[in-house]
Structure 1
Amino acid sequence: MSAPRLPPLPTIRDILKLYNLSATKRLSQNFLLDENITNKIVAKAGNISGGQVLEVGPGPGGLTRSILKKIPERLVVVEKDERFKPTLEMLADSFGAINGKMDIIYDDILKTNIENLFPLDKKRNWNDKSPDIFIIGNLPFNLATYLIIQWLHAISEQRGPWAFGRTKMTLTFQKEVAERLVAPPMGDQRCRLSVMAQTWTFPVLRFIIPGKAFVPKPDVDVGVVSFTPLVKPRTQYDFKFFERITRHIFNFRQKYSIRCIETLFPKEYRKDLGLMTYKLADLEPTLRPTQLTIEDINKLATAYKYLLEKHPELKLYNYRTSRHLLPLSNTKDIIVQDCAEILEENIGMSI
């Protein structure tokens, strides 16, 4: 038997005209109308046939059609803008005509309890291959970076869609953001986002979509990035702690990385504790932030944690808000003496 096919549907352009729909600048909407491109995005998402798919921000349904053509077991779309209700319901009815199931949720993806969207029988152990659950989305530019950070955090804690295992994502970003996500050490685009994405997932830049393919045409091109969660993350630290270290490291991209690490400490102890951190991590203070590997940053995190254990008061320091010397129980001389003792204690220590 041949695979079921969707009934004939009007084009997305015709639907936009029929319902007098246009992109809303406030929601950073850009519609992707080229079916060849939407088919290509779906192809890069993997074998979604018979699987569970979540589409984020379907809009008028261009990408949705390409997903439905692969006949997933179930498609859930989350759309904030209810103007697209007629077009999405049309697609749901068409999919239902071939015994498919498409659910539409009109909500903000940031407020949606995604974990409740999938059946428990799809759950797999983290060490197993990825479950038959896929997240696909042509994300609004104003949401994409914030959303991926939130989802990386969820991946690190194996919650939300990642309570079911190593759920894969295929998402669009501004070209520059897409390049940052996959940027290697020494790369011009290397930044905090690169490190956080590559610590918990294997991100791959699949291809670039020219801006002219969207309506309205954005000022930038768009990159399609796929993410596969790693079986074992590249750090043993929790997301917030590791993100804090990484954020400080990339505070001043053009300076030596030790100048960035120093901002973790009060001004009065900054030079000594910054140098101590690098000594413990066995790294050169003159390395630039973009030169540091994830393993290097993990070493710096270990050294910083060790110093926090020695001087718990340092946890109270915040570079952005602290203006005065912390009420440390130690004077600067004692801090320096402690640093010397730590060095002596940890000669040959593996971090």
Structure 2
Amino acid sequence: MLSPHSHQQVMVGRAVMKAKQAGRAALRLPPMTSTSDLVKLYNLQAVKKLSQNFLLDNKLSSKIVSSSCRVKRSHVCEVGPGPGNITRSILEQGAQHLTVIEKDPRFLPALDILREASQGRLDVNIGDVLTYNMEKLFPPELARPWEDPPPNIYLIGNLPFNIATPLIIRWLRDISLHQNAWVYGRVRMTLTFQLEVVQRMVAPPNHPQRCRLSVMCQNWCYVAHKFTIPGRAFVPKPDVDVGVAHFIPHQEPHIPLPFNLVEKVVRCIFSFRQKYCKRGVATLFPRAIQDDMVAKMFTVADVDPDIRSFQLTMPEISRLCHAYSAIVTQNPTIASYNSREQHIKAELNCDMDADGNEDEYRLR
């Protein structure tokens, strides 16, 4: 009796042979292995520490791809394909070329089966998407000026929960610098996150989920929550539901200042999310000049210091960032100061969740 892997290889060979005999470019992909076979073949339980959760529902995989807009005749990069269910949906919906980036080499056999059946339309790369450089991943003729409509390129991925937020922050930085995949223009993304994270990303001012992740995402991208996938649709089943988010980079950010400056100011503002925003702004300055600098910053920005950070609008946050930029231009030594760690640890006793800041991330 053939193993699932051998059975798939036989079916691939038959499909490719049939297409060649017919003299046409029909795509015949082998059937997806069953959930039980995947568990046996790839030992899914052993990678729980990597936060891997695979979507094996073909309809939901197709819905993720179709929510990206129209991938037909486009170039796509899929991050974290795992056993390849979303991969096959991308191919079936007519992508001209697909490149996948997978960190776990155990999935090479499943992905190679799809590659062999794809008639040259699929490339498989083993690598860590957190450090992967996509600047030469696509044909140079696909590049578009930033002010033009987005290029015919898409990034799609069912991301492991433990890298999802750090990855989007890195990519927002890349968007701000027009580097990595964004050397090609305003490349669109469709990615999965924990539902609560997506709700934070799209939260408007005054919304209880509004946080620094909301501001960072919305500053550089139009962000939409496309739909929700119940946790039971994944293998292994996570304890949370999953949100599918679509990102389109803005032609101009709401706050046209360097990423590091915006990130620093927004991070400090939301250090005390439920308290008056002047509390977080104060952590930008040494104690000796704190009161004077905070008063100056809010006066220049024309923002009420006694509203809470989650109530701030994008124009108000923009004015605060510009006010801080002007202050550090006049006083360069202030730029390197940040009392956040010592101040927050003392005030919150190292409990970063006390004010709802669960979207903590670190840039390395």
TM superposition shift of 1:316 = 3.4
Q: CA deviation at 1:4?
A: 3.0
Aligned to 1:134: 154
Give the direction of change, closer, same or farther, for the CA distance of 1:305–1:7 in structure 2 (3 Å limit): closer
Q: Deviations over 1:58-107 (max 9, x none)?
A: 001111111110121111000011111110000111112xxx41000011
Which of residues 5, 29, 35 is equivalent to 1:13? Answer: 35
The Cα of 1:18 is off from its aligned counterpart by 6.1
Q: 1:152 to 1:12 in 2, by over 3 A?
A: farther
Superposed counterparts of 1:42-191, under 5 Å: 42-96=65-119, 100-191=120-211
Q: Equivalent residue of 2:44, what SS?
A: coil
**Letter matched to residue 247 of structure 1:** R
Aligned-pair Cα RMSD in Å: 1.8
Residue 38 of structure 1 corresponds to: 61
Tell me which moved more, 202-211 or 310-319.
310-319
AA in 2 matched with 1:139: L
Of residues 222, 237, 242, the one that matches 2:262 is 242
The reply on whether 1:29 has 2:47 as its aligned counterpart is no
Correspondences of 1:287-302 after superposition (within 5 Å): 287-302=307-322
**Secondary structure of 1:29's match?**
coil
Partner of residue 340, structure 1: none
Note if contact 1:12-1:60 (Cα within 8 Å) is conserved in structure 2.
no
Question: 1:302, CA displacement in angstroms?
Answer: 1.4
Instruction: Give the aligned length.
Output: 320
Q: 1:101 to 1:110 in 2, by over 3 A?
A: same
Kept in 2, the 8 Å contact 1:180–1:190? The answer is yes
Q: Tell me, yes or no, if the aligned pair for 2:30 and 2:114 is still in contact at 8 Å.
A: no
Measure, in 2, the Cα distance between the counterparts of 1:308 and 1:85.
Answer: 50
Provide the TM-score with structure 1 as the length reference.
Answer: 0.87
Separation of aligned partners in 2, 1:45 and 1:168: 8
**How far, CA to CA, are the matches of 2:105 and 2:34 in structure 1?**
17
Is the contact made by 1:54 and 1:75 (CA closer than 8 Å) also made in structure 2?
yes
Residue 272 of structure 1, aligned match among 285, 289, 292:
292
Kindly tell me: are residues 11 and 229 of structure 1, through their superposed partners in 2, closer, same or farther at Cα, counting changes over 3 Å?
Answer: same
What residue in structure 2 maps to residue 330 of structure 1?
A: none
Q: CA deviation at 1:46?
A: 1.1
CA deviation vs aligned residue, 1:126-161 (integer Å, no higher than 9, x gap): 111111110000000000000000000000111111
Structure 1: give runs of 5+ residues left out of the alignment.
324-351
TM-score using structure 2 length = 0.84
User: Residues 247 and 53 of structure 1: is their aligned pair in 2 closer, same or farther, counting only changes over 3 Å?
Assistant: same
Q: Are residues 10 and 245 of structure 1, via their aligned partners in 2, closer, same or farther at CA, if it must alter by over 3 Å?
A: closer
Counterparts in 2 of 1:205 and 1:322: CA distance versus 1, 3 Å: closer
